[in-house]
Chain A
Amino acid sequence: EAQVTQNPRYLITVTGKKLTVTCSQNMNHEYMSWYRQDPGLGLRQIYYSMNVEVTDKGDVPEGYKVSRKEKRNFPLILESPSPNQTSLYFCASSLSGQGTGETNEKLFFGSGTQLSVL
C-alpha cells in the first residue's frame, strides 16, 4: 500500500532531550516536507527536500534539523527540544515539486506525530 509512515504517533519528552521523528515513503517520491500544525496557526512548513541530499528551510526552521540521505527517508531532528515545539507534526511527500501543475505535485501526508515537550 502506498503510504507515508511517521513514527512515533505520540511522544512526550522533556526540555533539552534530543529526539528524532522518522518519516518514510514507499512511493519513490522526490519531494518531501515537514509541517507543524498549531491551533489558530494552521500548517506551517519547517523544512523541505527536493531530492536526495537537497534540503531547504521552510517558514519555521529554527530549532529543527533534517537530512535526506536516501530517497525514502526524511527524519526530523530536534537537537534540544523546548516547550514551544509542542505541536502536531506532519510529514508529506509528492512525486515531484516542479510547479508544473500536474497531479504528481499533490502531497501525501503521514498520520502525524503529536509531540509534547515538558
Chain B
Amino acid sequence: SQQGEEDPQALSIQEGENATMNCSYKTSINNLQWYRQNSGRGLVHLILIRSNEREKHSGRLRVTLDTSKKSSSLLITASRAADTASYFCATDTFSSGAGSYQLTFGKGTKLSVIP
C-alpha cells in the first residue's frame, strides 16, 4: 500500500528560489527518508529523519517532521538547475515480531528549476 503522498505532484520555479515539497503518510512510522531521482535513473538517498526528530539539515536541504500531523516537508534553498529531478518521501515500518522491515515510497514531486 502507498504510505506517503507527496504534494504538489509537480513544481516549477526559477533558479535561486526555494522549493518546498510536502509528504503526508497514514500510519505510525519509525523514520522518514527523502530520495531524489533524475529522469529514469536510480534513486539517491538525500536525508533520513527519525520519528523523534523535528527538523534536520543537510547542506541546502531542510527536512521537518510533524508526527502529530503525519507529515514532512523538504525545503531546497537557493535552487539550481541541477536540482531538477523527482523527489520522493519514503516511510518505514518495522515489526520486530514478524522480523520484517518495509520502506514504502510515495508517488513523488517532479521539480523543474528554470535557469
The residues of A with any CB-CB pair to B shorter than 8 Å are: 4, 31, 33, 35, 40-45, 48, 50, 54, 56, 58-59, 88, 90, 92, 97-101, 103, 105-112, 114
Contact across chains for B43 and A50 when beta carbons are under 8 A apart: no
Q: What chain B residues lie within 8 Å of A99 (beta carbons)?
A: 30-31, 92-94, 96, 101
Q: DSSP majority for the B interface?
A: strand
- Between A and B, 12 residue pairs with Cβ closer than 8 Å are A43-B43, A45-B102, A45-B103, A45-B104, A50-B101, A90-B42, A97-B101, A98-B101, A99-B30, A99-B31, A99-B93, A101-B48
Contact across chains for B103 and A33 when beta carbons are under 8 A apart: yes
Is B69 located at the chain interface by the 8 A CB criterion?
A: no
Which segment of B11-19, B76-84, B105-113 sits at the interface? Answer: B105-113
Q: How far is the CA of A50 from the CA of B94 in the complex (A)?
A: 11
Q: What chain B residues lie within 8 Å of A88 (beta carbons)?
A: 40
The residues of B with any CB-CB pair to A shorter than 8 Å are: 1-2, 30-31, 33, 35, 40-45, 48, 50-51, 88, 90, 92-94, 96, 99-108
Q: How far is the CA of A109 from the CA of B45 in the complex (A)?
A: 9
- A48-B92 contact in complex given A99-B31, A109-B42, A112-B40, C-beta closer than 8 Å: no
Given contacts A4-B42, A42-B106, A45-B103, 16 further A-B contacts (CB under 8 A): A41-B107, A43-B43, A45-B105, A50-B100, A54-B99, A56-B100, A92-B42, A97-B92, A99-B96, A99-B101, A101-B30, A105-B48, A106-B45, A107-B43, A109-B44, A111-B42
The distance from the CB of A1 to the nearest CB of chain B, in whole angstroms, is 14
- A97-B94 contact in complex given A42-B108, A48-B101, A50-B100, C-beta closer than 8 Å: yes
